[in-house]
């Protein structure tokens, strides 16, 4: 198992940023904003955010903003709520919140709330509890949560709760750890966790740990490092994280490292990518792995960044 | 009206760069603007970059033409995850009055390679929505096809639930669930769909009306594979909001006893029995005998009350969640031995 090879992961993340012509970079092009958030947050958790040029990143992020207030996944791309949250999170990482025109971003997000309280991802209407979380998290970071109908938003999320205690993407949708993170996160940020049956949901979540120590996202599925984030953060938010085996999960994540070239994969011996590298590091941070900054389970930002946002400290 | 799909298929063999095609000679491609100081200078593969340059040109000019439609097909072929391309394609479908059934076929071909992509499913829904009940069979067939390859495909299930609610077609859905569960009784998605059907189908009368037959079905499933998390959860779900009927239904306690007596794969039987006891169920001596007969090595439970016995066994046989079971033990109601 060994240890977290921090220096190698830092190198790997920086190398991805510079890579030019492989397939991953083509696919990543339109969601570069998410990639930036994953890579930069992982760097910050490892205490290495200072290796990037702040002004370069920040000016690129700002150039992705549209008049509507939303951010695109890259320069010249249409805005989407997915990229808007990542952009706001990246600016928060660099303590550049003052660059955000909060009213503009707020208008954009407010416009995406539907009559039933749900949120669409963009002006074209795809509805999903993921977008409820993103809207609520984003508005909370810019101190504008009061500008949406929180009561209805919460009601919609609760309508996606299943009999097993979990949540799906729409009412009746199968419980899925990724959706559960979004729903529990949104409920945590709106102070509505009393609406969750914590023992029932906690049991479902801790059943996700399989023999190898890894977590899966649904019954009978394979474990995957990204669920270390989704399942763990949910368990922490509902105060039940001690129900799973910390040691075994740490071992599973460490086994997914590429110890030579850096980066973390979904499962041992698979190819690494930035997405799983971020989720692996963030998962270890939630598990209080030594040498990593603590991450906030609801905001998905380092705790010191969250404190800076809310307590100016 | 062509849907632009034929180009995509031929493209694999002998793709001609757009700049060498006469029909595009009048368009000046618009290169990607990477912003003032690009953090990540990305060089896309040349062909994809060119398609996107031409796409930006037609998109900015809002050119509603057949060639623009073909171009979106090419762009989607390279990268099916771009929201803008899909959106512009919908505008084109409308302006050019394209036969939307053809579009469904196009989506099916694209989905064959990219079925985990959110945009494809969203696009599919928008197109089916336009077609209305006309699209019902196509949507049920399409999702069935995707599910025949990956029976737990989250997008496909989500789309299917939407189609049932928006377009109808509930009549055969319970049979479809049974069919999938017959193939794989551990398929949690199919169990979820089953629950969706019995609670929401306008033809079945709701959970209460379905309970009796569903309990029988589920108990058979549990007997066949007692290690199946999904069937046990489903059984509990059948009594949603009616804990008392669940505690008092002899079918529930009997299946627990039956599995315990078999002495194998009894984890969920034990945990269900524990839940029953915590909700007031009073097990008789048969349960105690069955539990004592399990004979867990290095575990002395003779003197404990039955609920504590259960917790002690679960701590032993489910060590990864030992803290959960210790917690359960710590908050047991005080029951007589
Ligand atoms: Zn993953």
Per-residue pLDDT of chain A (313 residues; tens, 9 = 90+): 579 999 999 999 988 876 544 445 555 566 789 999 999 999 999 999 999 999 989 999 999 999 999 999 888 788 899 999 999 999 999 999 999 999 999 999 999 999 999 999 877 778 999 999 999 999 999 999 999 999 999 999 999 999 999 999 999 999 999 999 999 999 999 999 999 999 999 999 999 999 999 999 999 999 999 998 999 999 999 999 999 999 999 999 999 999 999 999 999 999 999 999 999 999 999 999 999 999 999 999 999 999 999 987 5
C-alpha to C-alpha distance for A125 and B315, rounded to whole angstroms: 48
Q: Tally Cβ neighbours within 10 Å of residue B149.
A: 10
How far away is chain B from the Cα of A60, in angstroms, using its nearest Cα? 6
> C-alpha distances in angstroms, A21 versus A9, A275, B19?
21, 19, 21
A231 part of a folded domain? yes
Top residue of A124, A176, A217 to mutate, by most chain B CBs within 10 Å, is A124
Question: Which candidate in B97, B102, B113, B116 is catalytic?
Answer: B116
Residue closest to B307 by CA, chosen among B317, B289, B282? B282
A52 part of a folded domain? yes
Chain B 140-159, residues with CB within 8 Å of chain A CB atoms: 152, 154, 157-158
Q: What is the pTM of this model?
A: 0.91
Residue closest to A170 by CA, chosen among A135, A140, A134, A126? A126
Say what the pLDDT of residue B10 is: 42
Give the CATH number for residue A79.
1.50.10.20
Say what the pLDDT of residue A28 is: 59
Catalytic, B144? Answer: no
For residue A9, report the distance from its CA to the centre of ligand 1, in Å.
17
Say what the pLDDT of residue B39 is: 42
Q: Do A219 and B324 touch (CB under 8 A)?
A: no
- DSSP state string for chain A: -----HHHHHHHHHHHHH--SSHHHHHHGGGHHHHHHHHHHHHHHTT-GGGS-HHHHHHHHHTTB-TTS-BBSSTTPPB-HHHHHHHHHHHHHTT-GGGS-HHHHHHHHHTTB-TTS-BBSSTT--B-HHHHHHHHHHHHHTT-GGGS-HHHHHHHHHHTB-TTS-B-SSTTPPP-HHHHHHHHHHHHHTT-GGGS-HHHHHHHHHTTB-TTS-B-SSTTPPP-HHHHHHHHHHHHHTT-GGGS-HHHHHHHHHHTB-TTT--B-SSTTSPPBHHHHHHHHHHHHHTT-TTS--B-TTT-SBHHHHHHHHH--
Please tell me what DSSP assigns to residue B44. Answer: -
A64 part of a folded domain? yes
Contacts of A189 (CB under 8 A, 6+ apart): A136, A137, A140, A145, A298, A299
How far away is chain B from the Cα of A136, in angstroms, using its nearest Cα? 21
Chain A residues within an 8 Å CB radius of B199: 172
For residue B165, report the distance from its CA to the centre of ligand 1, in Å.
30
Top residue of A126, A226, A235, A241 to mutate, by most chain B CBs within 10 Å, is A126
Contacts of B253 (CB under 8 A, 6+ apart): B273, B276, B281, B283, B287
A282 part of a folded domain? yes
Contacts of B242 (CB under 8 A, 6+ apart): none
For residue B337, report the distance from its CA to the centre of ligand 1, in Å.
47
The residues that bridge with A161 in the sheet, in sequence order, are A167
**Positions of chain B with pLDDT under 50:** 1-11, 36-43, 336-337
Chain B residues within an 8 Å CB radius of A37: none
The residues that bridge with A167 in the sheet, in sequence order, are A161
A166 part of a folded domain? yes
Count of all residues that appear for chain A in the document: 313
Q: Do A162 and B188 touch (CB under 8 A)?
A: no
CA dihedral over A14, A18, A22, A25, signed as positive or negative = positive
CB of B94 within 8 Å of a chain A CB? The answer is no
Chain A residues within an 8 Å CB radius of B237: 163-164
Please tell me what DSSP assigns to residue B36. Answer: S
Chain B residues within an 8 Å CB radius of A173: 157-158, 161, 192
Say what the pLDDT of residue B11 is: 44
Say what the pLDDT of residue B44 is: 53
Q: Do A75 and B240 touch (CB under 8 A)?
A: no
A41 contacts A89 by C-beta, under 8 angstroms? yes
Could you report the predicted ipTM of this complex, rounded to two decimals? 0.93
How far away is chain A from the Cα of B320, in angstroms, using its nearest Cα? 6
Top residue of B34, B49, B90, B320 to mutate, by most chain A CBs within 10 Å, is B320
Residue closest to B9 by CA, chosen among B139, B97, B113, B84? B113
Kindly state the tokens that stand for A272. Answer: 């690494």
Q: Do A17 and B324 touch (CB under 8 A)?
A: no
A272 part of a folded domain? yes
For residue B245, report the distance from its CA to the centre of ligand 1, in Å.
40
Chain A residues within an 8 Å CB radius of B57: none
For residue B256, report the distance from its CA to the centre of ligand 1, in Å.
36
Nearest CA in chain B to A124: B87
Residue closest to A205 by CA, chosen among A171, A225, A180? A180
Contacts of A54 (CB under 8 A, 6+ apart): A94, A96
Say what the pLDDT of residue B336 is: 44
Domain holding A143, by residue range, is 6-311
A62 part of a folded domain? yes
DSSP three-state, residue B151: coil
Number of domains in chain A: 1
DSSP three-state, residue B14: coil
C-alpha to C-alpha distance for A132 and A157, rounded to whole angstroms: 8
Kindly state the tokens that stand for B191. Answer: 């169990």
For residue A217, report the distance from its CA to the centre of ligand 1, in Å.
9
Top residue of B29, B37, B39 to mutate, by most chain A CBs within 10 Å, is B39
Contacts of B299 (CB under 8 A, 6+ apart): B312, B313, B316
How far away is chain A from the Cα of B233, in angstroms, using its nearest Cα? 6
Q: How far is CA A38 from the centre of its chain?
A: 8
Nearest CA in chain A to B156: A173
A1 part of a folded domain? no
Buried b (16+ CB within 10 A) or exposed e, A231-251: bbbbbbbbebbebbbbebbbe
For residue B319, report the distance from its CA to the centre of ligand 1, in Å.
25
The residues that bridge with A79 in the sheet, in sequence order, are A72
Q: Do B83 and A56 touch (CB under 8 A)?
A: no
B222 contacts B235 by C-beta, under 8 angstroms? yes
Residue closest to A116 by CA, chosen among A80, A170, A162? A170
Q: How far is CA B26 from the centre of its chain?
A: 46
């Amino acid at each position: 198992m060994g240890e977290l090879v921090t220096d190698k992961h830092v190198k790997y993340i920086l190398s991805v940023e510079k890579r030019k012509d492989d397939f991953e970079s083509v696919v990543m092009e339109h969601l570069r904003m998410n990639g930036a958030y994953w890579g930069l947050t992982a760097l910050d958790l490892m205490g290495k955010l200072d290796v990037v040029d702040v002004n370069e990143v920040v000016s690129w992020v700002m150039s992705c903003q549209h008049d509507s207030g939303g951010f695109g996944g890259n320069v010249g791309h249409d805005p989407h709520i997915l990229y808007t949250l990542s952009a706001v999170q990246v600016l928060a990482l660099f303590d550049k919140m003052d660059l955000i025109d909060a009213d503009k971003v707020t208008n954009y997000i407010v416009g995406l709330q539907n009559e039933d309280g749900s949120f669409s991802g963009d002006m074209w209407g795809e509805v999903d509890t993921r977008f409820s979380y993103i809207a609520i998290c984003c508005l909370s970071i810019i101190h504008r949560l009061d500008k949406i109908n929180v009561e209805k938003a919460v009601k919609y999320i609760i309508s996606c709760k299943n009999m097993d205690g979990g949540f799906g993407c729409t009412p009746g949708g199968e419980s899925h750890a990724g959706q559960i993170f979004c729903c529990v996160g949104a409920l945590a940020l709106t102070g509505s966790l009393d609406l969750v049956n914590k023992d029932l949901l906690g049991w479902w979540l801790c059943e996700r740990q399989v023999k190898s120590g890894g977590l899966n996202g649904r019954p009978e599925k394979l474990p995957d490092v990204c669920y270390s984030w989704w399942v763990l953060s949910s368990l922490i938010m509902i105060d039940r994280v001690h129900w799973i085996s910390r040691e075994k999960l740490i071992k599973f994540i460490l086994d997914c490292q590429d110890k030579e070239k850096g980066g973390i994969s979904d499962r041992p011996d698979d190819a690494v990518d930035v997405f799983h590298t971020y989720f692996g590091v963030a998962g270890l941070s939630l598990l209080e792995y030594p040498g990593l900054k603590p991450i906030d389970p609801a905001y998905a930002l380092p705790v010191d960044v969250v404190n800076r946002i809310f307590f100016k400290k | 009206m062509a849907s632009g799909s034929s180009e995509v298929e031929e493209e694999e063999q002998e793709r001609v760069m757009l700049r060498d095609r006469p029909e595009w000679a009048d368009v000046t491609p618009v290169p990607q603007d990477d912003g003032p100081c690009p953090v990540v200078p990305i060089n896309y593969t040349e062909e994809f970059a060119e398609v996107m340059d031409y796409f930006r040109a037609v998109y900015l000019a809002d050119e509603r033409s057949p060639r623009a439609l073909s171009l979106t097909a090419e762009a989607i072929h390279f990268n099916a995850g771009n929201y803008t391309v899909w959106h512009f394609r919908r505008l084109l479908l409308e302006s050019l009055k394209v036969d939307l059934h053809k579009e469904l076929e196009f989506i099916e071909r694209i989905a064959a390679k990219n079925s985990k992509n959110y945009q494809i499913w969203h696009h599919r829904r928008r197109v089916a929505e336009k077609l209305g009940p006309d699209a019902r069979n196509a949507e049920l067939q399409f999702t069935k096809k995707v599910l025949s390859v990956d029976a737990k495909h989250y997008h496909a299930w989500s789309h299917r639930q939407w189609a049932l609610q928006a377009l109808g077609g509930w009549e055969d859905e319970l049979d479809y669930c049974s069919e999938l569960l017959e193939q794989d009784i551990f398929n949690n998605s199919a169990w979820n769909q089953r629950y969706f059907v019995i609670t929401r189908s306008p033809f079945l009368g709701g959970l209460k009306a379905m309970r009796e037959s569903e309990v029988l079905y589920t108990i058979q499933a549990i007997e066949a594979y007692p290690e199946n998390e999904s069937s046990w959860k489903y059984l509990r779900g059948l009594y949603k909001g009616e804990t008392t009927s669940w505690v008092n239904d002899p079918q529930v306690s009997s299946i627990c006893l039956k599995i315990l007596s078999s002495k194998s794969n009894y984890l969920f039987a034990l945990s269900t029995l524990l839940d029953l006891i915590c909700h007031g169920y009073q097990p008789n001596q048969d349960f105690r005998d069955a539990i004592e007969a399990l004979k867990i090595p290095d575990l002395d439970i003779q003197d404990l009350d039955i609920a504590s016995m259960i917790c002690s066994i679960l701590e032993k046989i489910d060590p990864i969640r030992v803290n959960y079971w210790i917690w359960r033990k710590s908050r047991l109601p005080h029951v007589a031995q």
